[in-house]
Amino acid sequence: MITRAVRRDGGYVLNGAKMWITNGTIAHLAVVWAKLKEEASGRDEIRGFLVEKGTRGFSAPEQKRKHSLRASVTSELILEDVHVGEDSLLPNVAGLKGPLGCLSQARFGIAFGVVGAAMACFHAAAEYSRSRVMFGKPIGSYQLVQGELADMLTEITKAQLLSVQLGRLKERGTVKPEQISLAKRNNCTIALDVARRARDLLGANGITAEYPVMRHMCNLECVKSYEGTHNIHTLVLGEAVTGIAAYR
């Protein structure tokens, strides 16, 4: 984290930049996490700040030319000597606990959402296998195609069950961040695999806008990375199993 905050004139001055911020261009309020040097200890501490749109020195240009999540406004936040008041500092939270708490909520939703994308790809492939005729019969009558559909259905069903159990744990208030990481990691991986298999089954039709598969596949490429990459969640689970952090 290179964005920094310093105390000045009854408030704080922020300098730095944030990349890949959803809705950053259209939002009226941004939550910015920055390193702030604590006067008592002299050490840097991560703190959150509220920055209003229109504040001098604050801009949020939109990221263009994307091949994934094209319907989503993605932005860069640029802070150049942005002065905010004392009341802009988020109270009662310091360190990574604050932003990571928000990430757990987002990752929980992603674990469910990608299953829906996988289901859409599967249903498109299954329907296509019944209507596409090759050598005088539907391609769904061939063993290799049925094998692909069976594998896709199995992985989707496992992801659905994992999501349901995760939801139950969350309702009870007993869900752990590591369990959310497990679901996010697994479901994103199988959803992308299902989309790729469906695209392959549809052949050249799989890349056209007539079918939803290519759109889902491109979006899932991004979803697999954001809110924690596949590798980061692998290390989260590794630490949960062994008790040893291996992030460095």
Dihedral angle, C-alpha 219, 221, 225, 227, nearest 10 °:
20
In single-letter form, the type of residue at position 101 comes to: G
Residue 17 corresponds to which amino acid?
Answer: A
| Cβ neighbourhood burial of 114 (10 Å; 0-12, 13-18, 19+) | buried
Residue identified by tokens 């674990």 is 111
With tokens 């000597």, the residue in question is 81
Helices (H), ranges, the chain: 97-131, 143-172, 177-202, 213-223, 230-242
Catalytic: 227?
Answer: yes
Question: Are residues 62 and 75 in contact, defined by beta-carbon separation less than 8 angstroms?
Answer: yes
The Cα 7–Cα 14 span in angstroms is 9
Q: Which one from 39, 221, 227, 239 is the annotated catalytic residue?
A: 227
**DSSP structure class, residue 46:** E
User: So which residues are the catalytic ones?
Assistant: 227
